[in-house]
Amino acid sequence: MRDPSLFTEEFLEAMSLLPPEDPVRLGFEADMAHADVAIRSRYQQLLKEAVAFRHALQVSLPAGLTEQLLEIPARARVRRHSRFLTRFRAAAAAAIVLMLLAPATAWFLPAGGYERIEKLPAAAAAAVNSPLQVPGTQPSNLGETFANSPLPFFAILPQPKKGTQFLGGGLTTLVGKPAAFGRYRADHHNFTLFFISVNDFPLFGDGQLPMAMTPEGDESLCYWTDGPCVGIMVSEPGGASEPSQVVDMRPLRFNR
Amino acid sequence: MPNPRHSDDNPYESWVHEWAPALYRLALRLCGKRELAEDLLQETFFEAWKSRDKLADRDKARAWLFQILRNRWSHHLRDSSRRLKPSHNQESLDQAKSTQPDAVKQIAESDFVQRALDQIEDDLKLPFLLVVMEGYSCQEAADSLQIPLGTVLSRLHRARQALRAVLGRPVAPAQPLEKP
């Protein structure tokens, strides 16, 4: 018979959690055959509990997620060859220069009211793909700074360019992270400008777009990082590809 | 037309079909939030697709994918600089302790187990999930987590004790049951 110290409660608990075919467990159970009946009874109790744990932990893959995962390579290829990125880097550089030159106080406007949207359906993809169907959106003032927002910067809704209509904006969440957004319409196309914290989406720092923010279909999506802020513009198919065509790309955020 | 699930030319698809359910399960049990679990899964497969050429031995895809997921989870914890807060308050926990005497019945309530999992550290939770939920052998878990086999057993026991404590069942003292 094995050393009695083998059949401690710790060992019984650990061994009963192992899969039935685990060699370690099989060896232990071989020794168990010679153990006291009280120990074997206790082991059976623990096995029953382990099975309950195993069953309780099972969950199913949400519907549609497999398809989304299968689309990742195609999306990544599109992103890699995005013709917008190069142009956007230039636009972002210009915006940064302008931002450094502009007097910050001119843009520091008092915060207006806004309706906070706690959650968007199906995370950013839904918001990105249907920017005009965001429920509960209330127009905000241009120049909104969202001073009381959870964003680590003051996001400012930019002025629309001539021929562009400002539809509204506010605070929302993208994949559970706070974001400010403004919506515009130009040439019969809708645009949504999001501002998020780069810390909430670290992949931006690697030059990669988080998968949860990858648009589907023919929508174009342009983004740039500026300090703690990430600006993202989503356009409907056929719409302008650069935010500078839609809005005034003067300073859009300030550090808190 | 070849079945993509078994295509050597497109291992990515076979990974999705074969391992996505298990990876999602682990992600959900680690973070406790469906939306975040889906994000973690998407990031995991995105990383896998980007790094697919680095996997020399395709038979080790499972361990490789699970490692990526754990890295993404660690990354998330680091970036958020906080642990995810448990989805219940102390009052409900105390109530659970006092009104759920039947441990097996209690465990059968999956949501209750999740709330208990939220209370224990990843060091204990990971071996528990890999072994109990994913059916890793003790040695596989040790290899995957790069810890000694004895440590896996110790953490399994400690995780179980911690879960049981949260679930409200009295924890028996650790001592030999066999008569000397």
- Rounded Cα distance between B9 and B11, Å, is 6
Pairwise CB contact (< 8 Å): B173 & A9: yes
In a domain, B63, yes or no: yes
Asked whether residue A219 is domain-assigned, the answer is yes
Do residue B96 and residue B57 come from a single domain?
A: no
Residues A51 and A156 in one domain: no
pLDDT at residue number A242: 67
Residues B76 and B109 in one domain: no
**In this predicted structure, what is the pLDDT of residue B125?**
93
Task: Choose among B20, B33, B36: nearest Cβ to A61.
Answer: B20
Residues A49, B5: Cα–Cα separation, whole Å: 35
* Residue % of chain B over a pLDDT of 90: 35
**For position B80, what pLDDT does the model report?**
67
Q: Could you tell me if residue B159 is inside a domain?
A: yes
Cross-chain residue pair B104–A35, CB shorter than 8 Å: no
- Predicted ipTM of the assembly: 0.75
Structure confidence at residue B21 as a pLDDT band (50, 70, 90): very high
Domain identity same for A131 and A251: yes
pLDDT computed for residue A246 by the predictor: 75
User: CA B123: distance to chain centroid?
Assistant: 10
Q: Are A170 and A161 in contact (CB under 8 A)?
A: no
Task: Examine the pLDDT at A167 and tell me if it is beyond 60.
Answer: yes
Q: Do residue B64 and residue B101 come from a single domain?
A: no
Phi, psi of B70 (to 5 degrees): -65, -35
- Of residues B27 and A56, more confidently modeled: B27
Looking at residue A204, its pLDDT comes to: 57
Judged by CB atoms closer than 8 Å, whether chains meet at B43 and A4 is answered as no
**A159 pLDDT more than 50:** yes
Residue A243 burial (10 A CB sphere; 0-12, 13-18, 19+): buried
What is the reported pLDDT for A117?
26
Which residue, of B54, B80, B106, is where some domain finishes?
Answer: B80
Q: Which residues of B touch A62 (CB under 8 A)?
A: 24, 34, 38
Which of these, A193, A32, A53, lies nearest to A127 by C-alpha position?
A: A193
The least confident of B3-12, B52-61, B137-146 is B3-12
The more confidently predicted of residues B21 and B169 is: B21
- Residue positions counted in chain A: 256
Position with higher pLDDT, B107 vs B178: B107
Identify the band that residue A121 occupies on the pLDDT scale cut at 50, 70 and 90: very low
| A40-49, A104-113, A140-149, B169-178: range with lowest mean pLDDT | A104-113
pLDDT band at A255 (very low <50, low <70, confident <90, very high): very low
Q: Are residues B55 and B101 in the same domain?
A: no
User: Which residues on chain A are in Cβ contact (under 8 Å) with B173?
Assistant: 9
Question: Are residues B38 and B67 both part of a single domain?
Answer: yes
- With beta carbons less than 8 A apart as the criterion, state whether A65 and B34 touch: no
| Within a domain: B122 | yes
Continuous segment of H or E residues that includes residue A127: helix A123-129
Residues of B in contact with A59 (CB under 8 A): 24-25, 28-29, 110
Give the pLDDT score at A165: 84
| Co-location of B69 and B96 in the same domain | no
A100/A203 same-domain check: yes
In this predicted model, what pLDDT tens digit does every residue of A207-252 receive, in sequence order?
555 555 555 555 566 666 666 777 777 777 666 666 677 777 654 5
| Predicted pLDDT at B78 | 79
User: What is the rounded average pLDDT of the residues B127-155?
Assistant: 93
Q: Which residues 71-90 of B are in CB contact (within 8 Å) with A?
A: 75, 79
Quick one: average pLDDT of A122-145?
Answer: 46
The answer to whether position B42 is within a domain reads yes
Residue B178 is assigned to a structural domain of this protein: no
Q: A69: which DSSP letter?
A: H
Domain count, chain A: 2
Distance from CA of A22 to the nearest CA of B (A): 5
CB contact (8 A) between residue B174 and residue A9: yes
Q: How many beta-carbon pairs under 8 angstroms link A with B?
A: 160
Interface of B with A in 4-23 (CB under 8 A): 12-13, 16-17, 20-21
Q: Report the residue from B12, B112, B174 with minimal CB separation from A73.
A: B12
The reported pLDDT for the residue numbered A68 is: 87
Q: Are residues A158 and A220 in the same domain?
A: yes
Give residue B155's domain range.
Answer: 90-167
Using a CB–CB cutoff of 8 Å, tell me whether B171 touches chain A. no
Structural domains of chain B, count: 2
pLDDT number for residue A217? 53
- Chain A hits for B104, CB-CB cut-off 8 Å, are 48-49, 52
- pLDDT tens column, A68-101: 899 888 766 554 444 455 556 666 776 776 666 5
pLDDT greater at residue B97 or residue A37: A37
Mean per-residue pLDDT, B43-47: 90
Answer yes or no: is pLDDT of B174 > 60.
no
Give the confidence band of A107 by pLDDT, cuts at 50, 70, 90. very low
pLDDT in tens, B64-120: 999 999 999 988 887 765 444 444 433 433 443 333 445 555 555 557 788 888 888
Residues of A whose CB is below 8 A from B82 = none
Q: How far separated are the first and last CA of chain B, in Å rounded?
A: 66
